[in-house]
Amino acid sequence: MKLPIYCPSCEHSLKVSQLRCEVCSTEVNGNYTLPLYLKLSREEQDFIMEFFLASGSIKEMSKQAGISYPTMRNKMDDMIEKIKKMTP
Amino acid sequence: MSKNWRTVFNPFERYPERDLAIAGIVTLLLSVLLFWWAGQTNDGVYHVSPKADLSLAGALTEAIVYTLLVCALLSGLGKAINPKTRIIDMLNATLIHRIPLTLGILILQLPFIKTAMDQILRAVKTNHLEALSGATLWISTIISLLMMAFFVCAIVLLVNGFRTAAHARKVIHYVLFAAALILAEIIYRLLLYPLLLTF
């Protein structure tokens, strides 16, 4: 199931207000901000995971994705720019 | 645009640099042989003239000089736009974009087209344009349009190669790209080509 990160009503970022233990049903309430990684789209999260699994090699990732090195590097640069804008 | 057409006009997005470099070098060598065989000289980066006594070494030197010139200017611009730009990607774009131009020169060597072009040249020299047949005029018009299409294809390939290599996104990047090409043409025509003729 996809984790919603934006409010379906007003489109503002959502926050975590409740966490629950699956074993003993303990519930924790609060106002937690989502980690940066979870604020990214599913494709962007997958991209970061692939980058990690490829030992940080853009060349290896481009080989696996069947695209050229500069295309993959450009994709990476776009994401870096987006993440920089998201961080205060 | 379908994925296949996108690949035709932007192979730099998909193929690894080694494959592109091999295709580019093969094209360069074939174009050198073609220019030597056809007796055509590159007196501009994008201009060709007949030169019957062109040697194979001369054709090779011309091809290497204009390729390195365009590559050097675009790489310099690419590095200024994005320091991560690699020279190999710009060299591949410079080499691959000559494929449509080489095809154009090859088509011009077809006997019936050559005959039509010779007839036009003769008519211009003798000032008897009225002597040209309708078929000759049709052939020259179609060939001119075809050459224009090949030239547009070449520039589209170079723009896409440049965009992929330098991650160019702003309008100013493309304005500077056009300026770099004009500068390459001026440097080659006014400085390098006259220098090549002295060897």
Which residues are within 8 A (CB) of B53 and not within 5 positions of it... i.e. 6 or more apart? Answer: B39
B36 in any annotated domain = yes
Asked if A54 contacts A64 with a C-beta cutoff of 8 angstroms, the reply is yes
Range of the domain at B169: 3-99+155-197
B126 in any annotated domain = no
Answer yes or no: do B164 and A71 touch at CB < 8 A.
yes
Output phi, psi for B41, to 5 deg.
-115, 145
Asked if B54 contacts B36 with a C-beta cutoff of 8 angstroms, the reply is yes
Answer yes or no: do A71 and B89 touch at CB < 8 A.
no
B148 in any annotated domain = no
Distances (CA, A) of B190 to B47, B125, B180, B194: 13, 27, 15, 7
pLDDT tens by residue, A24-47? 999 999 999 888 888 888 889 999
B61 in any annotated domain = yes
B51 in any annotated domain = yes
Taking alpha carbons only, the member of A40, B172, A80 closest to residue A72 is A80
- pLDDT value at A69 more than 90: yes
The mean pLDDT of A56-74, rounded to a whole number, is: 93
pLDDT tens by residue, B53-101? 889 999 999 999 999 999 999 999 999 999 999 999 999 999 999 999 9
* Number of domains chain B is built from: 1
Give the whole-number percent of chain B exceeding pLDDT 90: 73
Confirm or reject contact between B6 and chain A (CB < 8 A): no
The mean pLDDT of B5-14, rounded to a whole number, is: 90
Q: Which residues pair with B42 in a beta bridge?
A: B48
What is the end-to-end Cα distance of chain B in Å, rounded? 47
Neighbours of B139 (CB within 10 A): 19
Measured between beta carbons, the chain B residues lying within 8 angstroms of A74 are: 164, 167
Between B12 and A2, whose confidence is greater?
B12
- Dmax over CA atoms of chain B, in Å, equals 59
Measured N-to-C along each axis, helices A42-53 and A58-65 cross at an angle, to the nearest 10 degrees, of 120
Between B1 and B147, whose confidence is greater?
B147
- pLDDT value at A54 more than 80: yes
- pLDDT value at A1 more than 80: no
The mean pLDDT of B30-53, rounded to a whole number, is: 92
Taking alpha carbons only, the member of B167, B22, B156, B15 closest to residue B86 is B167
Predicted-complex ipTM score: 0.81
B188 in any annotated domain = yes
Measured between beta carbons, the chain A residues lying within 8 angstroms of B86 are: 69-70
The pLDDT assigned to B114 comes to: 86
B127 in any annotated domain = no
Tell which of B3, B96, B164, B170 to mutate to test the A interface (max A CBs under 10 Å): B164
- pLDDT value at B1 more than 70: no
- Residue A74 has its nearest CB partner, among B14, B15, B167, at B167
B116 in any annotated domain = no
Q: Where are the domains of chain A?
A: 36-86
As given in the structure block, the two tokens for residue B19 are 């494959």
The mean pLDDT of B146-156, rounded to a whole number, is: 95
The pLDDT assigned to B152 comes to: 96
Residue showing tokens 């940080």: A56
- Amino acid code (one letter) for A46: D
